[in-house]
């Protein structure tokens, strides 16, 4: 089990890399990447059994970034885990780079599903969980979906299927930061109450602070004790978490910081003592 102080250092490095790579590319999605850092940090450094030796195998846990536009958080986490060189992050969105704006499983080991068309990631995760059962494997499939993404009908078709097939080895995190590219999710196309809707679809639902490792750990423990139904962990988060001028600002959903803004962000993301 990775100590909390080490997790904080990993999360800090991931955040610094997110803003740096997006700034270098002059495009990308920092807001929803920064909001999911603690979730991916916990999964990759404490929960999932994936490593560089088994990455090509199906005999391990899987992670699907359903909100594929948040690829910076996945790439930065994979780099922190050692799946790719840190310097490769600076090729984000460049021509011929493995690190395109949306993750592609054909290019980069450690990316378990190509995503970007919103709603499809959860469907793919449902298929993986069914395949695990047919193969008589007890690995877990984790998926991160967005709150704005939850306006997609495919999310609910997938949710219905997951409950129907009693996929208790499927655990979904819902990154509930309340904002999407056009603003407040409740004003764009209100998907709430998301907790009650997933319950109505037959899921076990837990609500946590998505930046609190203790709550993430406790929720995952409870999810793994739940039999006969999938679990949704509704994680309340802050869009742009860690960078003051990005926090709770929908304008940073898909905007890149300039050089001056990057310097401010990196100054705020100080090394953990």
For the residues 128-141, what does the mean pLDDT come to? 97
At residue 17, the pLDDT reads 98
Q: Is the pLDDT assigned to residue 30 strictly greater than 70?
A: yes
**Predicted confidence (pLDDT) per residue in 60-87, tens digit:** 999 999 999 999 999 999 999 999 999 9
Whether 11 and 37 have beta carbons less than 8 Å apart is answered as yes
**Predicted confidence (pLDDT) per residue in 216-272, tens digit:** 999 999 999 999 999 999 999 999 999 999 999 999 999 999 999 999 999 999 865
At residue 2, the pLDDT reads 87
Q: Which domains does the chain have, with CATH numbers?
A: 4-268 (3.40.50.970)
19 Cβ neighbours under 8 A, 6+ residues apart: 30, 34, 243, 257, 262, 265, 266, 269
At residue 272, the pLDDT reads 55
Share above pLDDT 70 across residues of the chain, in percent, rounded to a whole number: 99
Q: CA-CA distance, 236 to 176, in Å (whole number)?
A: 5
Give Cα separations from 209 to 82, 135, 219, 236 (angstroms): 27, 34, 10, 5
153, two tokens: 């009908």
């Amino acid at each position: 089990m990775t100590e909390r102080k080490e997790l904080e250092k990993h999360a800090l490095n991931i955040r610094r890399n997110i803003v740096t790579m997006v700034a270098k590319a002059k495009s990308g999605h920092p807001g929803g990447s920064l909001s999911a850092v603690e979730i991916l940090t916990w999964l990759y450094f404490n929960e999932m059994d994936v490593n560089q030796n088994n990455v090509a195998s199906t005999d391990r846990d899987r992670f699907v970034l359903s909100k594929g536009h948040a690829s910076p958080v996945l790439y930065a986490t994979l780099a922190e885990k050692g799946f790719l060189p840190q310097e490769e992050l600076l090729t984000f969105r460049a021509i011929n780079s493995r690190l395109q704006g949306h993750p592609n499983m054909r290019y980069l080991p450690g990316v378990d599903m190509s995503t970007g068309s919103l709603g499809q990631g959860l469907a793919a995760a449902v298929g993986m969980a069914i395949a695990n059962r047919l193969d008589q494997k007890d690995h877990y499939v984790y998926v991160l979906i967005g709150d704005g993404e939850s306006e997609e009908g495919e999310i609910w078709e997938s949710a219905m299927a997951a409950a129907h097939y009693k996929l208790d080895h499927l655990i979904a995190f819902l990154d509930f930061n309340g904002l999407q590219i056009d603003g407040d999710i409740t004003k764009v196309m209100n998907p709430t109450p998301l907790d009650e809707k997933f319950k109505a679809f037959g899921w076990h639902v837990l609500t946590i602070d998505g930046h609190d490792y203790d709550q993430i750990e406790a929720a995952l423990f409870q999810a793994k004790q739940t039999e006969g139904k999938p679990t949704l962990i509704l994680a309340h988060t802050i869009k742009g978490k860690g960078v003051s001028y990005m926090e709770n600002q929908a304008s940073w959903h898909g905007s890149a910081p300039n050089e001056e803004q990057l310097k401010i962000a990196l100054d705020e993301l100080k090394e953990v003592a």
